[in-house]
């Protein structure tokens, strides 16, 4: 049994010595200076590319589509006209707004022509009443002082 224990201890010692040598032995390494550089990575794959989000397009106006200038999936720049709408209703609304503006301008001219002279006359009358009231006050003070 002593011989067996001695053989096991020798085997363990040899195993520990070889592990120490393998792990503890120095290895040659390459030293590189750290610097900024672009990272280049390429992926080769097959499949279908899809957008992570769908973009909904809508108009602030209710109108019929006259012409579509872009197709689904086509790349477009910002500000590109995608769809042309019929402008009949928009042109009618614009004409109505212009007519309302002309009417308001005419009403303003009429009020300036008619009501300004009336207002000036009322102002003159109020100023005359003020002068008269001042004269009456002075006369009342004069009589009260006697």
Predicted confidence (pLDDT) per residue in 55-86, tens digit: 777 777 777 888 888 888 788 888 888 888 88
Find the mean pLDDT for residues 2-10: 79
Burial of residue 17, with CB atoms counted within 10 A of its CB: 0-12 exposed, 13-18 middle, 19 or more buried: exposed
Q: Report yes or no: 69 and 81 within 8 Å, Cβ to Cβ.
A: yes
pLDDT > 70: what percent of the chain?
92
Whether the per-residue pLDDT at 139 is higher than 70: the answer is: yes
Q: What's the rounded Cα separation, in Å, for the pair 59 and 128?
A: 62
Whether the per-residue pLDDT at 2 is higher than 80: the answer is: no
pLDDT of residue 128: 93
Find the mean pLDDT for residues 109-115: 82
Whether the per-residue pLDDT at 87 is higher than 70: the answer is: yes
Find the mean pLDDT for residues 131-140: 91
pLDDT of residue 125: 94
Give the pTM.
Answer: 0.34
* Best CA proximity match to 66, nearest among 86, 93, 48, 45: 86
């Amino acid at each position: 049994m002593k011989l067996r224990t001695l053989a096991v201890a020798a085997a363990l010692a040899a195993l520990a010595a070889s592990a120490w040598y393998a792990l503890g032995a120095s290895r040659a390494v390459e030293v590189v200076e750290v610097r900024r550089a672009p990272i280049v990575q390429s992926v080769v794959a097959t499949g279908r590319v899809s957008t992570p989000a769908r973009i909904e397009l809508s108009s602030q106006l209710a109108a019929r589509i006259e012409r579509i200038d872009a197709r689904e999936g086509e790349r477009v720049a910002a500000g590109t006209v995608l769809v042309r709408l019929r402008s009949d209703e928009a042109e009618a609304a614009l004409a109505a707004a212009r007519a309302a503006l002309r009417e308001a301008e005419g009403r303003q001219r009429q009020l300036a022509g008619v009501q300004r002279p009336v207002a000036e006359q009322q102002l003159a009358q109020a100023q005359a009443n003020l002068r008269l009231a001042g004269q009456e006050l002075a006369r009342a003070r004069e009589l009260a002082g006697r």
